[in-house]
Amino acid sequence: MLSESKQNDAAWLVAKGKSIEIKTAPYTKPGPNQILIQSHAVAINPIDRIIQDLGNMAFSWIKFPTIVGSDVAGSVLSVGSNVQRFKPGDRVVGFGLGFTQGKSDPTQAAFQEYVLLREDLCAPMPAIMSYEQACVIPLGLSTAASGLYQKKYLNLALPSINIKNTGKTILIWGGSTSVGANAIQLARASGYEVFTTCSPRNYDFVKRLGASQAFDYNSATVAADIIRAFEDKDCAGALSMGSGSAEKCCDILGSLKKANKFVAMASFPGQKDGAPNGPLEMASMLTGMLTANSKIWWKSRTKGLKTNFIFGSDLEENEVGPAVWKSFLGDALAQGTFIPSPEPLVVPTRGLKGIQEGFDMQKKGVSAKKVVVIF
């Protein structure tokens, strides 16, 4: 039974454009397939602060006040009646579903002291792994897995501890991003060779994760260089992250002789980092996104390509979520074959008071790191 006197505090978004307020939140009993955890570390993603800045201008279903956050690691307090994998006291990392496509449930959002998680979207943590290391995983992993494995995207072979080489190569544009770092490791665990792009200062980082070749995304010849690298290769498709990435991937796949001509997009075409400041910047952003989408549509039509935008929570509705979180990740972490990435950049202020500080740090920009708050 849960203690009626237990108080749960949360970092509430009370209105669009307003700073976080720390207030009480429900302390909720887990459902049959859920676990209740005490948060020990959370990570901040760009989408979290975009919701703060834009609210329902970006996502029509958002209603304030609300709690956000997807990335959390903590200790299990209680489990639902159907849960067999976990028990109170277990250390876990999990994917909070407080904000998913078309709906929101604050009880499952990460930025609070006690969080409800679906047990099949959690994994046990090795004893040597810290909470701040583990909490960088969830949204990046889930978004990458959605794009790589779901049938409506690239439909690749699922990851396994026992890797079977497919003989195919995938292009991951933006390998040093959170999604990219997880996608490289998942693709390798599925038996694919990985070509990726990043800044030259991150070449060693992406190659440690498993990329065989890395290309400078700012190079004027990057598309031509990648096309040459794919000569005599069987391309499994592309996963794109970052401004202009989808267009580049379309150009590359459209030029290859042997390829799955599909681009799974983890960034909206024409999307720029940060929220617009005022109506003029909003108009400019929307114009840029419409222009980029028109270019993508035309390239897809003329080059025989398909594209689709990934939403990170898509895998909650199909076999991909349990296949990655339940059947793969725990063992891969225990064996050291999957590395939590990118590295945590810890906010100086601990606890819920550090969430707004973390939002501000994330907005200034980070490279090959993820902003983390320790409780």
pLDDT (tens, 9 = 90+) of the chain, 375 residues, equals 344 558 999 999 999 999 999 999 999 999 999 999 999 999 999 999 889 988 887 788 888 999 999 999 999 999 999 999 999 999 999 999 998 877 778 999 999 999 999 999 999 999 999 999 999 999 999 999 999 999 999 999 999 999 999 999 999 999 999 999 999 999 999 999 999 999 999 999 999 999 999 999 999 999 999 999 999 999 999 999 988 899 999 999 999 999 999 999 998 776 665 555 655 666 677 677 777 777 887 878 888 899 999 988 989 989 999 999 999 999 999 999 999 999 999 999 999 999 999 999 998 888 889 999 999
User: What pLDDT was estimated at residue 1?
Assistant: 39
Distance CA 197, CA 179 (A): 13
Q: In 3-state terms, what secondary structure has residue 157?
A: coil
* Six-digit token string for 92: 């876990």
How far apart CA 331 and CA 148 sit, in angstroms, is: 20
For residue 95, the SS3 value is: strand
Angle value at C-alpha 218, between 215 and 220, nearest 5 degrees: 90
Phi, psi for residue 254 in degrees, rounded to 5 = -65, -20
Cα-flanking dihedrals φ and ψ of residue 35, to 5°? -125, 150
Are the CB atoms for 11 and 52 separated by under 8 Å? no
Confidence (pLDDT) at 302 = 84
Residue 154: both structure tokens together: 């690239």
pTM higher than 0.85: yes
Query: Which residue, among 73, 63, 61, 59, has the nearest Cα to 110 in the 3D structure?
Result: 73
Q: What gap in Å lies between CA 175 and CA 214, rounded to an integer? A: 8
Look at residue 273 in the predicted model and tell me its pLDDT.
56
* Structural domains of the chain in order of their starting residue, each with its CATH number: 8-136+342-374 (3.90.180.10), 142-309 (3.40.50.720)
Q: Burial of 306 by CB count in 10 Å (0-12 exposed, 13-18 middle, 19+ buried)?
A: middle
